[in-house]
């Protein structure tokens, strides 16, 4: 079945450590996205990528980094510069067109900083 796989589902990090969240899709989608979800704030866009080797900052990119070396993969690194990294992270993907592209989401990763 086609879909998006995020791993790990739960991750614990000590302050000062970088962590990388994995996102893999087999939908042959060109565009991929990372969102952060906090209680009472909905989803906010961190980074997005339209094609391989290209990505743009979203609304809250500070303290995060991404790479897009393969079409199927869009890992997110939460760096020690992110002041409040504890959150639920959602990866999504979509086709590229001028129409109403529907985003397909992964099951999410919960990051907790100890």
Query: Cα 5 from chain centroid?
Result: 11
CB nearer another protein, residue 3 or residue 12 = 3
CB nearer another protein, residue 8 or residue 18 = 8
Rounded Cα–Cα distance for residues 50 and 68 (Å): 9
CB nearer another protein, residue 51 or residue 81 = 51
**CB 80, min distance to another protein, A:** 26
CB nearer another protein, residue 13 or residue 110 = 110
Rounded Cα–Cα distance for residues 61 and 110 (Å): 18
107 strand-pairing partners: none
The answer to whether the CB of 67 falls within 8 A of the CB of 75 is yes
47-58: burial string, b at 16+ Cβ within 10 Å, e else: bbbeeeeebeeb
Query: Cα 3 from chain centroid?
Result: 15
**CB 77, min distance to another protein, A:** 21
**CB 96, min distance to another protein, A:** 6
- Chain residues binding another protein by CB under 8 A are 31, 33, 35, 40-45, 48, 50, 56, 58, 88, 90, 92, 94, 96-98, 100-103, 105, 107-108
**CB 15, min distance to another protein, A:** 25
């Amino acid at each position: 079945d086609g879909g998006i796989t995020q791993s790990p589902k739960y991750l614990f990090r000590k302050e000062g450590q970088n962590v990388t969240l994995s996102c893999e899709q087999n939908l042959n989608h060109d565009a991929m996205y990372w969102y952060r979800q906090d209680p009472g704030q909905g989803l906010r866009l961190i980074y997005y990528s339209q094609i391989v080797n290209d990505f743009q900052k979203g609304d809250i990119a500070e303290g995060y980094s991404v790479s897009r070396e393969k079409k199927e993969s869009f890992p997110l690194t939460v760096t020690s510069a992110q002041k409040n990294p504890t959150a639920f992270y959602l990866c999504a993907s979509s086709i590229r067109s001028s129409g109403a592209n529907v985003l397909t989401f992964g099951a999410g990763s919960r990051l907790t900083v100890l």
